[in-house]
Amino acid sequence: MTGRGRRRRPRRGDYLTELQRDLTFVRRPNLLVVLWRWRWELMLAFGLPTELSIIGIRLGWAWALVAVGAILTTFTAWPGARYWLVAHARCVVTAHRVRTGCAQAWIQTRHGKLPIILLTGPQPYGERVYIWCRAGITLEDFEEAKGILRSACWASDIRVTSSSRYSHIVVLDVIRHENID
């Protein structure tokens, strides 16, 4: 047993775990994972033109052009809509940047799998990211990699907390503005 002020002596398994982590590469995702990670971009690239084509076929191409004009006018003339669009575009980019930061900081399982980004939502200070930690990934891994994640997300600070209800959910607050509530 260790005393109160003494650090425990590292065991042989700790060295092997650290070496194994350093030598494990991030696994390539399968097709379903790639589709999930790029779902927003795929919806914009394929869903929006498909929807406009359906409107054009059923109601006429004039109505499709009116719909496009109304959408563009709304986002250019109304500052609230423009803020909403930019905030949600940042959420999509932040999810990709967090994933890249996790890969660079070796936040992965022993088999090379990254944590799953469940949801990214806009907040007044930046974005809030909910991450599902697979077995072998802990909150402490994210706390140790705050510097790497901060630079990967182009943020001024990163705050790492755990979900109050589920211990395997980590909450990252990507802080872009200093006026945090």
DSSP the chain: ---SSSPPPPPHHHHHHHHHHHHPPPPPP-HHHHHHHTHHHHIIIIIHHHHHHHHHHHH-HHHHHHHHHHHHHHHHH-HHHHHHHHHHHHHHHHHHHHHHHHHHTT-S-TT-PPPEEEEEEEETTEEEEEEEPPTT--HHHHHHTHHHHHHHTT-SEEEEEE-SS-TTEEEEEEE-SS---
Q: Using CA atoms, how far apart are residues 61 and 72, in angstroms rounded to an integer?
A: 17
Does the residue 143 lie in any domain? yes
For residues 98 and 174, state if they share a domain. yes
Q: Verify that 106 and 168 share a domain, yes or no.
A: yes
139 and 179 co-located in one domain: yes
pLDDT at 120: 94
Q: Count how many domains the chain has.
A: 2
Same domain, 171 and 99: yes
CATH number of the domain within which 117 lies: 3.30.980.40
**What's the token pair of residue 141?**
């891994």
In this structure, is residue 20 part of a structural domain?
Answer: no
pLDDT tens for the chain, 181 residues: list them.
444 444 444 444 455 566 666 666 777 888 888 888 888 888 889 988 898 888 888 888 888 888 888 888 888 888 988 899 899 999 999 999 999 999 888 888 888 889 999 999 999 999 999 999 998 898 999 999 999 999 999 999 999 999 889 889 999 999 987 765 5
85 assigned to some structural domain: no
| Token couple for 146 | 């705050």
Write down the pLDDT at residue 148. 93
In a domain, 15, yes or no: no
Domain limits for position 108: 94-181
Same domain, 102 and 180: yes
pTM check: above 0.85: no
How high is the pLDDT of residue 167?
A: 86
Q: Tell me, yes or no, whether 98 and 71 share the same domain.
A: no
pLDDT at position 152 is 92
Q: What is the pLDDT of residue 1?
A: 44
Which one-letter amino acid corresponds to residue 91?
C
Q: Where among 21, 42, 77 does a domain terminate?
A: 77
- 120 and 167 both lie in a single domain: yes
Residues 116 and 152 reside in one and the same domain: yes
Tell whether 56 and 121 lie within a shared domain.
no
Q: What is the pLDDT of residue 72?
A: 85
53 & 105 share domain? no
Instruction: Establish if 146 belongs to a structural domain.
Output: yes
